[in-house]
Homo-oligomer: A and B are copies of this chain.
């Protein structure tokens, strides 16, 4: 491990954006693109693109540019789209239910295999073809089914307990939608989604625009 040069998270965080743009190009039946053209579409510089993709060995060919389909497949592979990651959703409230129908899970190669809650009113109900189970059954479920990721849509008040349960059960990654930021010291990978951060940046930019007008 750590044989290869560590790639910065800033570069990694840009990869899904390339992936989205390449997906659009494929939808528009574009098979080949220069870094210059792609840069123009994405509002970044061609040298940024070349620099980013060089971290993974390049992919482009001098005088040809990028083969859209190969680049799309390669970036997908780097990001794990071919790994068929298995997901459970913890918290079958409104957001949990919306995520259970999230089309990009399937498009990005992920599969929802279980939904968990603690409310007797919700347990046993069917969401997108999946029966909601009690959180107490998570540990057994994870043992019986390869489970890579737990999506957490639980209130702040119960987040600590749920995280403990999820980690004990052996889930390897957490996609956290609860307001509290998780910084786990354990081997569990965490990705926090803070929608309100994005909302507040929008608020800031609105204020700036108002001042400028």
Chain A contact residues, CB within 8 Å of chain B: 1-2, 9, 12-13, 15-17, 19-20, 24, 43, 78-81, 83, 85, 93-95, 97-98, 101-102, 104-105, 107-108, 110, 148-149, 172-173, 175, 179-181, 183, 187, 189, 191, 193-207, 209-213
Contacts and interface: CB of A to CB of B under 8 A. Distances in A.
B98 A199 contact: no
A140 B213 CA distance: 23
Q: Copies per complex?
A: 2
19 contacts: A1-B212, A13-B197, A13-B201, A15-B200, A15-B204, A16-B201, A17-B181, A20-B196, A79-B201, A79-B203, A81-B203, A83-B203, A83-B207, A85-B203, A94-B98, A102-B195, A149-B206, A172-B209, A187-B209
A81 B200 CA distance: 8
A102 B24 CA distance: 30
A64 to B, nearest CB: 26
Contact of A108 (B1, B85, B183, B200): B200
A205 B105 CA distance: 17
A185 to B, nearest CB: 11
Nearest to A80: B203
A195 B191 CA distance: 11
A195 B104 contact: yes
* Of listed A43, A203, A210, A211, residue having the most chain B CB within 10 A: A203
